[in-house]
Structure 1
Amino acid sequence: MWREQVEQIGKIRAERNRKLNAPANGNELSRFREAVVEKFGEEVLPQQYCEFLQTVNGIEFNGLKIYGIDPFLLDSDPINQVDSFFDANETWEDIQDEDELMFLGDSDIAWYCYNVSKQRFVELDKPSGELMETFPDFAAMLESAFLAALR
């Protein structure tokens, strides 16, 4: 479902003469995974997020941002500058209470995160940080975020 939503966003952007970012390649994804292990101390990067990055390396649309791989890990500059994973996680680090959160995206009203401590995907209210919704996986969280952005 989220792949169809990305295609829909791509068509909308094309009508405005804008393109989506290219997918991350294998080397970029490998460097990214290694950097995530260094930051979080273990392999906690959700596989479905990696699949998203292999489809489009970050996306911004109608107030929604799903973070891409940071430029220092890429072979070339992305088509569109989007918020990057490590920059965003450093920015939002203070939001965390007792749980370790991996920030994967945000919108005007929400943060989309992987709660590393509890191993679940969550939508948090912005700016309070209160739990709004829990998702069974990254794909479900992404579909919900895209659905809101496409309205």
Structure 2
Amino acid sequence: FFAGPLVEAVGPFSAGTDPALLPVNGHPVSVAICYEVVYPALVRQFVIRGSELLTTITNDAWFGATSAPHQHFAQASMRAIEEGRYLVRSANTGISGIVDPYGRVVAKSDIFQSAVLVGDVRFLRVTTYYARHGDIVAYASVLATVAVLVLSRRRVQ
């Protein structure tokens, strides 16, 4: 609602219907913009559609010298683990980096540091349990917890 006038001033933009992938040397690559990377369901949709490499671009300047850029990097790293993909992150004020599918940081720049990162990444097609089934384990855990609480309460009475 508040961005409408700004977007209209820039050009005729409209929301897409599906997450889009970009071909890179014949491999589908996803691009999460800024805070999109903190939403596991969105990144999962990229992988379901065939993304072999996760990338994200962000402007973390508005965080300033706080812990937020580090938290944002950590959240992005979680997507690499969940989806079993390399993640390449480019931030205009840092923290940029490359994270492998196990969450290990292959390369990383410091905050507010100009840098060029070099590292190897692989295009991957294998899917993780999370990529295939999403939050089913979390939902099942909540249901199991509720069931245990209800049953234990009945036994007490």
TM-score normalized with structure 2 length: 0.27
Structure having the higher Rg = 2
TM-score (norm 1): 0.28
**Larger RCO of the pair (alpha carbons < 8 Å, separation 6+):** 1
